[in-house]
Amino acid sequence: MRMARIADRLANLGAEKWQVHFEGRRRAAAGEKVIFLSIGEPDAPPPAAVLDVAEKAMRAGRYRYAPGQGEANVLAALARTYSRSTGRTLSPEQFLYLPGTQTALYVAAMTVLDEGDEILLPDPYYATYEGVVAAPGAVAVPVRLDPDRGFHPHVADFERAITPKTRALLINSPGNPTGAVYSADEMAAIGAMARKHDLWIISDEVYATLTHGNRKFVSPFHDAALEERTVVVSSLSKSHNMPGFRCGWIAASADFVKRAVAITETMLFGSQPFLEDAAAFALETHFPELDAVKETYQRRARTLVEGLAASPRVSAHLPEGGMFVMVDVRRTGLSGQDFALGLLQAEGVVTMPGESFGAGGAGHLRVALTVDDDQMGEAARRICRYANSLP
C-alpha cells in the first residue's frame, strides 16, 4: 500500500544515530557493566515540591480536558517569566503550552516551513532536527561550525549559505551537543542577518538556565525588534529535571501562536491540567536544589576534562553551558563513530558519536554529564586507556 510522502521522508532519520547507545543497552541487558554517557537525561529527581503540586492537582480532579493553547495559569506564568527575562510586558496570548520541546520544534517547523523551503542549521546540531525539518518537506542546510573556535557561529558562513529558498534559521544556545553559549554580539549579528534576509529564527532554549562560569544566556527574543520573527521552544525537562513530565512551550508573537494552535489541534487537544499546574508552579518558584544540579554538571565536566589530559590523543574543553562535553578524538585517526564503537567494546563506556549530530561533529564524542563524579573519573580513565591503545 502506498503511504504519504512524509513517512518516506522520515524513514531512517533516527535509529542509526543511536547505534552505539542501543548496543550499550543490549550489553547491559546481557549482564555487562557499562557506563552510560549517551543520553542527556538528568540523573537528579525533580524538586519534591513540584511533585507534590502535580499529585495534589491530580487528586483534586485536574485531569480533564484542557484548552488547546494551554491552561490560563501556565500561560500567565510563562508570560510573567518571559516578561522578566526580556524586560518588556508580554501577554499570555504569546505562549503555547505543549508536551515537551520536541513537540514544540515540530509545531514551529510545520508553522513556518513549506515543501522545498530551506532552513539553516549550525552544524553540529541536535539529532532530531533533521526529522523536524524533513516533516514539512523542507531542506536542512548545515553550516559547519569550527571546533577550534569552540563551535561558535560565524555569521558570514551563514550568509554564504542563504539562497532565495532560505526561510529560517534554527539555533540552539546553550548548544547540544557542543556546549557553546552564543555571545550577545553573536546573537545580535544573527538577528541582523535575519532582518536583512527576512528569515524566521527558531531558537531552541531548553538549556537556557544551564550556563556555566561567567557566560550569560542571550536569546533573540530578548530583542523587541526580533519578536515578530522569533519562535522560542523550551521546556522544564533540563532546567527542572522533569523530562518525563513533557512540560514544554512556544514563545512567539500572538499572531504566530494563533496560527500554530490550529496546527497543534490536528495532533493533540490540550495537555494534562495537573501537569500544567505543576509547570506553572515550577516556573515561578526558586529551588536551591536546582542550583546544586548546575554546580554538579560543572564539577563533572571538570573531572572529565582534567582526566582526559592524561592522554595526548584526546582532549576536551569545559562547556560554556548545558550538560554535555564534546571530546575531540581526531588525533587518534578514527571517526567519532569508530572510536565510540571501539570504546564500548574495549572499555564498556557508552557515548554518542559526534557524527550523530551532523558532519560538523566528525571526530568527536558527545559525553553526557549524567553519572556521579566517581563514574565520570573512571570513564575518563577508560577513554584515555582506549585512545592510548590505538596504533
Q: State how beta strands 315-316 and 324-328 pair.
A: antiparallel
pLDDT in tens, 30-84: 999 999 999 999 999 999 999 999 999 999 999 999 999 999 999 999 999 999 9
Largest CA distance in the chain: 64
Reported as type and span, the H/E element at residue 96 is strand 95-98
Q: Is pLDDT above 80 for 15?
A: no
Contacts by 125-131, CB closer than 8 A, 24 or more apart: 125/170, 125/172, 125/357, 125/358, 125/360, 126/172, 126/176, 126/177, 126/204, 126/357, 127/14, 127/17, 127/18, 127/356, 127/357, 128/14, 128/102, 129/105, 129/170, 130/13, 131/10, 131/13, 131/14
Please tell me the predicted confidence (pLDDT) of residue 2: 85
d(CA 148, CA 154): 12
d(CA 194, CA 380): 41
Question: 342 Cβ partners below 8 Å, 6+ apart?
Answer: 334, 386, 390
Q: Is pLDDT above 80 for 391?
A: yes
Q: Is the peptide bond before 147 cis (omega within 30 degrees of 0)?
A: no
Please tell me the predicted confidence (pLDDT) of residue 389: 97
Question: Could you tell me the pTM of the whole model?
Answer: 0.96
Q: Is pLDDT above 90 for 164?
A: yes
d(CA 151, CA 157): 13
- Residue 298, all three cell numbers: 560543572
- CB count within 10 Å of CB 161 equals 15
Reported as type and span, the H/E element at residue 234 is strand 230-235
Q: What percent of the chain has pLDDT over 70?
A: 99
Mean per-residue pLDDT, 287-315: 96
Q: Which of 19-23, 83-87, 224-228, 274-278 shows the lowest per-residue confidence on average (mean pLDDT)?
A: 19-23
Q: Could you tell me if 172 and 204 are in contact, meaning their C-beta atoms sit under 8 angstroms apart?
A: yes
Please tell me the predicted confidence (pLDDT) of residue 8: 85
pLDDT in tens, 69-127: 999 999 999 999 999 999 999 999 999 999 999 999 999 999 999 999 999 999 999 99
Coil, strand, or helix at residue 4?
Answer: coil
DSSP 32: -
